Amino acid sequence: MALTSRQLEILTFIQEWVRERGFPPSHGEVAERFGFNRNAAREHLLALARKGEIELSPNDARGIRLLKESPPRQFELPLFGNIAAGSPITAPEHAREWLKIDPELFRPRADFLHRVDGDSMIDAGIVSGDLVAIHHQSEAANGEIIAACLLDRRTGYESITLKRYRRRGSKVTLEPENARYEPLVIDLAREADVQELPSFRIAGVMVGLLRQGRS
Amino acid sequence: MALTSRQLEILTFIQEWVRERGFPPSHGEVAERFGFNRNAAREHLLALARKGEIELSPNDARGIRLLKESPPRQFELPLFGNIAAGSPITAPEHAREWLKIDPELFRPRADFLHRVDGDSMIDAGIVSGDLVAIHHQSEAANGEIIAACLLDRRTGYESITLKRYRRRGSKVTLEPENARYEPLVIDLAREADVQELPSFRIAGVMVGLLRQGRS
DNA sequence: TCAAGTACTGTGCATTTGCACAGCACTGAG
DNA sequence: CTCAGTGCTGTGCAAATGCACAGTACTTGA
């Protein structure tokens, strides 16, 4: 049986409510949202139940179950910007936004996304604006693309850049994938003593890429 | 913080309850299940909230949101291979596999994924093995990257390739993004009469890209 | 030994909630 | 014209619900 436009409005409201809060609204909350009586809300719910859209559990507060499109609560991944103050830059609180994407889509699991800025990795097929999926780990194998976390000692700000990682002894090379850019060389031994060079740590390794757009 | 065995029991109970009924249990229902006081249930819920397993909405009946575990059903997209018999190649039945990814992650919505084979689009940052998200539509603007569906009249097989689309009058050019490859030119006017050239249609336009892997 | 955390019982209370019953106005089909 | 269905208002109530406060008992790490 087809829904009226009013009933569809109410069904949509319930679906959104469940997605945002994890539990269904009460009669009163439906009524408040649409500016009508609690009993009107109840009758709408009964109508939606008659039409097979929802199931009502009698006498139970918020006893609404969505039947058709099971509320698609999805996995989400935090997207981080380039710069953040303090430690650690990849804490969930610093997330700019959350994208609905299953972390298990990547192997190993992705822990966060990082938006690429610039063309320094273009020869690896990574263009500006791409979202790189990162698995959080503090070590990497030679040749892997990593999210490197660089600390500017003067300002105290951390920034994340994508680079290909190579290490020989205490010398770490962060290589761009673009002939027009120079590799960054960091000596971990010197780093330990002197406090002048930008400190560096591995935020994670690249496990995938997401591009949103037509080109 | 780790959960105690009792807390895990209660968390599992809530998860099962939500899966079976579509809404969370009340304090009293938790208490009834385990045979203890309503207030004991409340304290368990507070503990689970402290430990980040759930989120409690104050003063709301059944105001429990499950944070960690997410119910199974997610949006999925069909992944098509390169070659398929008969028409239409992008029918869901022909899907090789389904990936858990939200179609609404892309704008406009993605309808299917296509695995890229070869390096003909490398200058657009699309490498072999990438999964290209395609929005199903039969027309495209000049300069857009499309999934072109080519029909081999001799064998009757269709194949999908990714190309940049340009049209001048009845002449359609499908351009690779790699200097080492030649564009494919199709004359729709001639196409209509003669039956020798490979027929072509637009399967959809590219709306995004997904790469699974470290490089 | 002390403090903190876990794991309960027990009481009481203001609010919320589902639900029932009584109406009213409008619409579209038979 | 009638009837069923939709879409509301308004009142009232018993039960359910979250929550605060007061206790008790056990365990565990400092």
Residue B24 pLDDT exceeds 50:
yes
Extract the tokens encoding A16: 């959104």
Residue A68 known to be catalytic: no
Segments making up each domain of chain B, as ranges: 5-66, 76-210
Residue B120 annotated among the catalytic residues of the structure:
yes
Reported CATH class of domain B5-66? mainly alpha
CA B162 to chain A, closest CA, distance in angstroms equals 11
Angle at B82 between CA B76 and CA B86, to 5 degrees: 95
pLDDT digits (tens, 9 = 90+) for A143-189: 999 998 887 766 666 678 899 999 998 899 999 999 999 998 988 88
Residue A54 is predicted with a pLDDT of 85
Select from A104, A195, A50, A213 the least CA-distant residue to B101. A104
Across A37-61, average pLDDT? 84
Mean pLDDT of B183-191: 84
| Mean residue pLDDT across chain B | 80
* pLDDT > 80? residue B135: yes
CA dist A29 and A41 (Å) reads 9
What single letter denotes the amino acid at residue B130? D
pLDDT above 50: residue B124: yes
The three-point CA angle B104-B72-A13 to 5° equals 55
Q: Give me the DSSP letters along B127-175.
A: -TT-EEEEE--S---TT-EEEEEEE-TTT--EEEEEEEEEEETTEEEEE
> pLDDT tens, A89-135?
555 544 556 777 888 788 888 888 888 888 899 999 999 989 999 98
Mapped onto helix, strand or coil, the DSSP state of residue B95 is coil
Q: Which residues of B52-68 are buried (b: 16+ CB within 10 A; e: fewer)?
A: ebbeeeeeebbbbbbee
User: Side chain identity at A141, as an amino acid letter?
Assistant: A
Mean pLDDT of A190-210: 78
- On whether any CB of chain A is under 8 Å from the CB of B206, the answer is yes
Report the share of chain A in percent with pLDDT over 90: 22
Q: Does A107 touch chain B (CB under 8 A)?
A: yes
Residues 24-63 of B with CB under 8 A from A: 24, 26, 55, 57, 60-63
Kindly tell me if the per-residue pLDDT of B215 is higher than 80: no
B46 — pLDDT class (breaks 50, 70, 90): confident
Nucleotides of D under 7 A from a protein CB: 6-12, 15-22
Distance A169 CA to C27 C1' (A): 83
Flag whether pLDDT at B3 surpasses 50: yes
Tell me what pLDDT residue A35 has. Answer: 84
Contact across the interface for A130 and B125, Cβ inside 8 Å: yes
Hey, is the C-beta of B184 within 8 angstroms of any chain A C-beta?
no
Residue A175, beta-bridge partner list: A164
CA dihedral defined by B67, B69, B72, B78, rounded to 10 degrees? 80
Among A9-23, A168-182, B64-78, the minimum mean pLDDT is found in B64-78
Q: For the domain covering A76-210, report its CATH number.
A: 2.10.109.10
* Rounded CA separation B208/A57 (Å): 42
pLDDT at A45: 87
Helices and strands per DSSP (H, E), number in chain B:
4, 12
Beta bridge partners, A163, equal A146
Yes or no, beta carbons of B99 and A106 under 8 Å apart: no
For B200, other C-beta atoms within 10 Å of its C-beta total: 18
Q: Helix or strand or coil: residue B195?
A: coil
